[in-house]
Structure formats: structure tokens, C-alpha cells
Amino acid sequence: MELKPHRLLPPLFRWRAGPELTSRRLPGIFGEVLRLLLIAGGCFGLMSAFVTKSLVGSGDAAWYSMMTSDFLTQWRAGIFPVFVGQTEYAFNGSVNPLRFAPYFQHFTGLLDLLTGHSLKFVALQNLALILSVIGGGLSAYFCAASILPRRRWTAAGLALLYAACPGVVALAYVGNLFMTVMALPYVPCVIYALWRSLEPGDVTGAMRTAPPLAAVWWCHAPVAFWLTLVAAVTHVWRLASRWRDGRICRDCLRAGMLFALCAGYVFISVWTLDPPSQPVERTLILQYLRNIFPNVLLPVSHAGLAAGDSQLGWSLWGVLLVSGAAFAWRPRRANGLILGAAGILLLFLLPVPGLNRWLWTALPQTVCNITFYNPEQRFYVIIAAAVVIAGAATMAIAGERFPKSAIAFNLALLAGVCWSGREASHFIRQGFATRPGAARTRIQEGMNNIELTRYSFNSLGSVPSYFTHGYIDPYLENRVLAPDQATVLIDNAAVVRPPDSAPAIVLHPQVITHDNVPLEPYFLLVPGVRYALRFDPLRPLYAGTLLAEGETVFREYGFPGSGAGMPFLTAERAFGILPTSRDYFPIWISRPTGDRVQLRYVFAAPALTPVTEAPFAVVRLQSYEVGGLPVKITRWAPYEALLESPVAGAWLETPRLFTSGYRALVNGRRASVRRSADGRVLVALAAGANRIVLAYAGPGPLRWSYYAALVTWALWGLRAATNRIGIWRAPPRAPR
């Protein structure tokens, strides 16, 4: 039976398209609403731990929160488009994930506009994740229902299996892979479009594939890369088998142009950054796959944190085996493609002796770099969608010929949904366990506790010497360099260092232990005042962590140097006890009342740290005001500063990491912008008083591709909506 070609239209909300459909009619409204509510409610339950105003997850979740807060702050200030970080949440000019996976922050920004700026940044981030999972479940349902228009309950069960797949649920709860979560609504659309393109009579398969595939590139490049490989093989096969049909060639040509306009910004954005690439060692990937086997074939652990818990799950394995057996009994080209793609990806994940090593060795190094060390995080979302589409296609054939087998399949599907829900509950329980309390939430949301992680720095290939794994006061990281760009003339950080003449506080161990040493006395911080806290140990310190804890303040610095561990670090001026380290760190509180702070030292090797009652360290505090610093920052987005240059030809070194596209005005005139030896943005100064305005406009290709993508997405959405309205209003066709 031939399928009716569809125009440029996504499979979402497509009420007919399956091989067993004989007329165009809408399903029963009551049953359809019930199914939609069931799927949306089930997906909402899967993300129930994210129904909170607090962060859920580890440090990666906090990093996403900082980047989202920066993006939303710029949008609320009227800055558009946003290409780099500029506010205090990302004062270093961070570009990750903004320039690598822009969908995450743009979708959150759209939700902020729709909610009238009424939600906090963390709540908006959680809302985006919840809606993405619900969208993934509904997307899988509509795609499966397009194949099974008469068996929509079966399609609903398959959609719930997709959303509850352990490899999909673990993305949000275990790895905090929020960028991959954003891709959940679009992966089933791509798989469905590929399946449909190989059906007899279809001539618009490439046009249906291009928009959702471009959306996946906006969401997460590693998933999109492997999905693009599957799409490329499909359409090359389609062209080779029907090369005489000019409609197929025109379809592929139009799809290529549409994809270039929709996704071109993502590629140009990365190209203009030229990020560094560290080669991924294949041996480590193989070792990781061996370590998680055979756990990937066993039930999910009770805690949801064991190696191998990110897996396909028994329910989808059952659907895959049934679909494979049905394909062996009655081959069908479209089903063979989907099952073949899922099988090949599974071969990459299962340590089959000899074959697995050969597969990973045969891949180009660039592909390994994109996939990274945890390939299951990229593959299972594709495999799960492929299994759902293949299962729906199998039931479309077997259900008509063998009605009793359809009943058995549905009963097994119901049991599979219950089993997958039970396994997903382990991840949900872990999500509730990682939700912080009210006190911890206040600390995390405070501007005085922002911690830019290494992800905010290493995407540009250089780490400034001020970097530290802890709080960084951006007002201190501004310097004026001599014309030789090496000699420091003015340094905000050096001005605030507590001198030897500052009052000293001698700290003693409060409890004599060998691993965790709380120090006393406590000291009180006055609200609205920033302090530089100088820490001078009175005894040799082994490796460990210095903590400063209060009701609304938290500092955590690794010793001997809190900036160590970065692959591109060339200098060490972070807080620590190394010869080149700073011996002080900034600390302040944002609440209107004072806060009592205690220092604590946690040794990394307790057996090597005999602690006595002798004095542990000396602390000196010196207050400072950001408005009284030599380089006075008046605004961050865009960057504005006031200073007095002691000589002509001097340079202002900002905290921003350099990337092409910055523009600067000094006293209203265009000024030169360069990259410093520390990897930061330099602005040429005039002698005397200077007023500097530094903003990021971006290279021309970046701007053009961005606006081209926006216009293309808007026109495509309008065209899709118009086509859908026309299909709804059209009278039913006579059955074939």
C-alpha cells in the first residue's frame, strides 16, 4: 500500500500516516485525551524530583544553573543575541554550553518569557527539563501512533517505555546530562522520518528528517552526530535505490538546504571558536565498557548509581527481540534499517570479544573525541527511540494478520511498562536524595557563592592564572599592564591583600582528629562588606581542602593549590600554599544580617596528618569596596570600567577569556582589542582617565547564521502550522 506524501511537516500531532490506515479520521477524543494525560502524567512522575526550586544533582547541575542564570540575566537586560557570558554568573566570557548546545539556554529563555519572569533561574531550568521529558514521551507517542493509528494504546505503551528507559531516565538523575535531555522530543521524530522515508511511495522523507535532526544538533552534538550517520546511510540508500526518480533528488536537495539554514549556526559557532580537542583514548572506552558488563543486562540497582545502571532495560530488550524475530519472519526494508541501526549501536556498547575492540579501533579519532568516554550516554536515547518505532512497525504488520498476538503483545507491553516504572523509581529516589535543604539552597543561590567550574574555562583552550576551583570575585581580576603587556602597573587583587600589620586571629583545632579539623575561634562577617581573608598555616599541611562555612556563605579550596588539575593551566595564582599561590581569598555575605563563619580543614590522607593542640594557622581580614578599587567596574553586561592609566599605551586586562568578536570603546572611540599572554581580553588605553566599554558582537558569519536560523525556524513553524490546519479541515479521503 502506498503512503500519501506529506509536505514539510513534523510527525508531531500527525493523526494519520500508518500503513494500516484506510481513511483520514480523528481518534475518539475521550480516549485520546486520556492517553495524552496518561503519558504526560507518567513522564511528569519520572521527573517528580525536579518539581522544586532547588538544584537537583551534582556539580554539573550547578554549572548549568550558573550558565542559565547568566543567559537569562542578559535577556532580561535586553541583550540579544547572547553569544558569550557577561554577567557575574559567567564573568569570564564562558561559551559552553551556549555556543556548543544553544537549545538548552534558549528554551529556558523562552520559558522565562512565557512565565513573565516570575520564576527563579533554577526553577526555570527544572521546568525546561520536565517539559523536555514530557515532550519526549508525547513525541514518541505521536510517531508510534502514526504507524499504529488503530492501536493507539499500544503506541502509548511504547511511548512510556521510551521515556522510562533506564538509559534515558539516568540522563537527568545520574549524569546531569541536561543537554541530552533537551533532545528527547526530537530523536523519535528523526527515527520516524527515516522509517517513513523507506516506505513505498514516499518522496518527502528527507524534508521530514531535516528539521528534527537540526533540532538535535541544537540540543547536543554527540547524539546528533550519530543520528546524522544513521540518517546519511538511510538517504544514500534511498537515493541509490530510486535514483531515477527526480522527486527523490529534489527532496534531498531541498532538505539539505533546509538543514543548512536551521543547523548552520551550530557548526559556524564552533568553527569560529576553534576549541581545543584532547584525544580520547580508545583503551579507556573499552575498559569502561568491560567494567559495566554484564551489569547493563541486569536489573537497575536499588540506589541507581551502580556501573551499568544506564542501560536499555529488559522491557525494550523484549520489544527489540520480538521486532527482530518478526523481521526475520517477514523482512521489511524500513524495519530492517531501524533494527540494523539499533543493533550496530548495541555492538559498540557490548564487549563482544574481538568485535568491540575492532569497531572502536576502526573509528576515526575525531569520532571518538565527540563520543567521549561514556558512549552509552549518547547511544541509548537513539536505541530506545529506534526500538519504539520498530516495535510499532512490527505491530502494524502482525496486529492485522494475527489479532491474538497483538493481545499478547499488549499484555506483555503493560507488564514492561510496570517493570520500567519500577526501575525508574530507583533513579527518582536518588534524585530526591540529592535535593538540598532550605539552608543549602540559600547558599547555592547566593551571589556571594558563585563557583565557576572548569567547564566554564577549558572550552576555549586557555585558563587564566586567576582560575580557582572555588569562589572568584570578578572585581579583583582586573589589571593594567604596561605597553610591553608583561609588566603589571595596577592590580586590583594586589590592593586588597591583607598586610602583615592587619589584626591577626590565631586558629586552634576545636577537635583533635586525623581527618576533619574544625578551627576556632569563629569570626563575624558584616553584611554589605567584602573581605579578603589571608590564611597563613603555622604547620606543614598535607593535601586537603580548606572550608569556610556559615549560614549563607560557603568556600571550598583545595590545597596545596586550588587551581590545579586544569589541562591548559600555565600559571598558578589561585589561592593555596604553593610558592606562586595567593595566600588570601575573597569572602562576603549577601543577606542583611551578619553571619558567623568557621574554618575547617579536611585532610585527604588522614594517616599522614597528626594533629595536636598547637596553633593551626593565622587569619587576617581586610575589608574592601568594589567602588574604591583602582579599576572600577560599573557594569558587567556589557563590561564597563573606569580607571586612570599612569602611562600612554597601557593595556587593560579584563577577566574575559579571549575569543574573536569583541569590540571596545575607550572614551567613546574605537579601541584595539587583543589577547593577553594569560589568555584574556586586552583593551588599549589612553593616558589619564579612561572609560572602557567592552561588548561581544561576534564575527559576521556567527551573526548571519544565527539570524538565518531564527528566520528559517519561524517560517518553517508557520508553514507546518498552516499545513496542519489545512489537513484538519480537509474532508476524509475515500479508503484505498
DSSP string, 643-676: EEESSTT-EEEEEEEP-TTEEEEETTEEE-EEE-
Task: Quote the CA–CA distance of 736 and 724 in Å, as a whole number.
Answer: 22
Asked if the structure places residue 736 within a domain, the reply is no
Is residue 109 located within the same domain as residue 122? yes
Domain C-terminal end among 611, 628, 645: 628
Q: With 0-12 CB in 10 A as exposed, 13-18 as middle and 19+ as buried, what is 239?
A: middle
Closest CA to 6 of 257, 140, 285, 203: 203
169 and 309 share a domain? yes
Residues 564-620: pLDDT tens digits? 766 655 556 889 988 889 999 999 988 888 889 999 999 887 655 556 778 899 999
At 137-176, the pLDDT tens digits run 999 999 999 999 989 999 999 999 999 999 999 999 988 9
Q: Tell me the C-alpha distance between 217 and 100, whole Å.
A: 9
Q: Are residues 684 and 581 in the same domain?
A: no
Render 311-351 in DSSP notation, one character per residue. Answer: S--HHHHHHHHHHHHHHHHS--HHHHHHHHHHHHHHHHHS-
Which residues are within 8 A (CB) of 120 and not within 5 positions of it... i.e. 6 or more apart?
53, 445
Assess if residue 19 is contained within a domain.
no
Higher local confidence (pLDDT), 194 or 7: 194
For residue 671, is it within any domain?
yes
Return contacts of 486-492, CB within 8 angstroms, 24+ apart. 486/677, 489/646, 489/647, 489/650, 490/630, 490/631, 490/643, 490/646, 492/629, 492/630, 492/631
Task: Give 60-96 pLDDT, tens digit per residue.
Answer: 898 999 999 999 999 999 999 999 999 999 999 999 9
Residues with Cβ within 8 Å of residue 610, at least 6 apart in sequence: 514
What proportion of the chain, given as a percentage, has pLDDT over 90?
A: 68
Q: What CATH number is given to the structural domain containing 603?
A: 2.60.120
Amino acid at 625: E
For 567-599, b/e burial (b = at least 16 CB within 10 A) is ebbeebbbbbbbeebbbbbbbbbebeeebebbb
Same domain membership, residue 725 and residue 604: no
Question: Which three cell numbers mark 439?
Answer: 539552608
Query: What pLDDT does residue 307 have?
Result: 84
Cell numbers of 465, please? 592564572
Answer with the residue of higher pLDDT: 305 or 185. 185
CA distance 186 to 213: 7
Min mean pLDDT across 45-54, 373-382, 714-723 is at 714-723
Q: Which domain holds residue 142?
A: 29-435+708-729
CB-neighbour burial class of residue 29 (10 A; exposed 0-12, middle 13-18, buried 19+): exposed
Omega cis (within 30) before 560: yes
Of 477, 450, 448, the closest CA to residue 464 belongs to 477
Please tell me the predicted confidence (pLDDT) of residue 401: 73
Domain boundary among 595, 613, 628: 628
- Decide if pLDDT at 6 tops 50: no
pLDDT at 667: 96
Give residue 543's Cα distance to chain centre. Answer: 32
647/505 same-domain check: no
Beta bridge partners of 661: none
Instruction: Report CA torsion sign: 113, 116, 120, 126.
Output: negative
**Mean pLDDT, residues 118-127 taken together:** 95
**Domain assignment of residue 16, yes or no:** no
Q: State yes or no: pLDDT of 350 exceeds 50.
A: yes
Q: State the cell numbers at 27.
A: 481518534
More confident residue, 4 or 362: 362
Residue 69 pLDDT: 95
C-beta separation of 22 from 400 below 8 A = no
* Amino acid 507: pLDDT: 94
State whether 579 and 618 are in the same domain. Answer: yes
pLDDT at 608: 57
Q: Is 695 helix (H, G, I), strand (E, B) or coil?
A: strand
What is the CA angle 441-442-448, rounded to 5?
120
CB 170 within 8 A of CB 427: yes
Same domain, 575 and 638: no
Same domain, 656 and 716: no
Quote the mean pLDDT of the chain.
Answer: 89
**Domain closes at, from 628, 660, 683:** 628
**Residue 355, all three cell numbers:** 568485535
327 found inside a domain: yes
DSSP per position, 474-529: GGGS-EEE-TTSSSEEEEHHHHHSPPTTSPEEEEEESS--SSEEEEE--EEEPTT-
Cis omega (within 30 of 0) on the bond before 638? yes
Instruction: List pLDDT tens digits, range 477-531.
Output: 999 999 999 999 999 999 999 999 999 999 999 876 667 889 999 989 999 899 9
Taking residues 706-718, report their average pLDDT. Answer: 95
Angle at 694 between CA 686 and CA 276, to 5 degrees: 115
How far is residue 184's CA from residue 186's CA, in Å, rounded to a whole number? 6
> Is 453 within a domain?
no
Q: What is the pLDDT of residue 727?
A: 53
Asked whether residue 148 falls in the same domain as residue 229, the answer is yes
Q: Which long-range contacts (CB under 8 A, 24 or more apart) does 721-730 make?
A: 723/7, 723/8, 723/9, 724/9, 724/13, 727/24, 730/24
Q: How many CA atoms lie within 13 A of 283 on its CB side?
A: 0
Of 265, 279, 273, nearest to 215 (Cα)? 265
The CA dihedral of 646, 651, 657, 659, to the nearest 10 degrees, is 160
C-alpha cell at 437: 535543604
Count helices and strands in the chain by DSSP H and E runs: 21, 19
- How many Å apart are CA 375 and CA 503, to the nearest integer? 55
Grid coordinates given for 283: 583503551
The larger pLDDT score, comparing residue 25 to residue 168, is at 168
Same domain, residue pair 122 and 245: yes
Q: What is the pLDDT of residue 60?
A: 87
The total number of structural domains that make up the chain: 3
Average pLDDT over residues 533-540: 92
pLDDT of residue 592: 84
Provide the pLDDT for residue 566.
67
pLDDT at 462: 78
Distance in angstroms (rounded) separating the CA atoms of residues 470 and 465: 14
Looking at 306-310, 313-317, 321-325, 728-732, which range is the least confident one? Answer: 728-732
95 CB burial (10 A radius; 0-12, 13-18, 19+) = buried
472 within some domain: no
Same domain, 409 and 555: no
User: Is it the case that residue 707 has pLDDT exceeding 50?
Assistant: yes
Residue 451 located in a structural domain: no
Percent of the chain scored above 70 by pLDDT?
Answer: 92
Q: Are strands 479-481 and 488-491 parallel, antiparallel or unpaired?
A: antiparallel
| Predicted confidence (pLDDT) at residue 438 exceeds the cutoff of 90 | no
Question: Are 359 and 311 found together in one domain?
Answer: yes
Give the per-residue pLDDT at 735: 44
